Amino acid sequence: MNEPWVHAEETAYRQYTLYFIYACIIYSLIGFSWGALMGGIAEFRYFVDHRLHGDLIVRAHTHINLLGWVEMAIFAAVYYIVPRLVHRPIYSLKLVRWHFWIHNFGLIGMVVFFSLAGLLGGMESQHSAPEQVEVIIRPLLASVGIFGSFVLLANGIWAFNLFRTCSGWKRGYEA
């Protein structure tokens, strides 16, 4: 069966769509475990809830869940559905690859630096003034912003690729 959206690069396209699913599974397991630890270990919960900047650890957890688990699942589903919907191949497999790697790079960087800022800020807040803690975490949060820009770039690549795939869909559609 030769569907109009199938093309020579279909194996690589399927592979990257599955990579998004695999990433979704990995991030969900990390996020679920992280949440269970935060809720189940009293000392960890106290640190997160009551130390200066401990809430940044919650932000790391939130980002692993939303940008990792949820968004990766959405990307995989949309990459699977859209070519079938418009009966056309994806506009650019190269952009799918770039999207995957840039998004993961950005997300992992965000989570690492949110976590570091939360841990270091929380530990330092035990024996330092809030102004001194800010000096320590400010560059870490700037790094979160830089890595967040990579995630934003990846999402822009995704949107552009899908827009180009969908635009003009009626020209190639034969009911």
Instruction: Give the Cβ contact number of residue 49 at 10 Å.
Output: 11
Domains of the chain with bracketed CATH: 10-167 (1.20.120)
Find the helix packing angle between 93-124 and 55-63, rounded to 10°: 170
Token output for 120: 């270091």
161 SS3 class: helix
Give the least confident one: 24-28, 44-48, 114-118.
44-48
Q: Please write the tens of the pLDDT for every residue from 48-107.
A: 877 778 889 999 999 999 999 999 999 999 999 999 999 888 999 999 999 999 999 999
Cα(14)–Cα(94) distance, integer angstroms: 13
What mean pLDDT is reported for the chain?
Answer: 90
Residues 110-132, mean pLDDT to the nearest whole number = 91
Type of residue at 112: V
Res. 25: pLDDT tops 80: yes
Instruction: Answer yes or no: are the C-beta atoms of 56 and 118 closer than 8 Å.
Output: yes
DSSP 8-state symbol, 89? -
* CB burial readout 141-151, b (16+ within 10 A) else e: bebbeebbebb
Measure CA 119 to chain center: 21
Res. 174: pLDDT tops 70: no
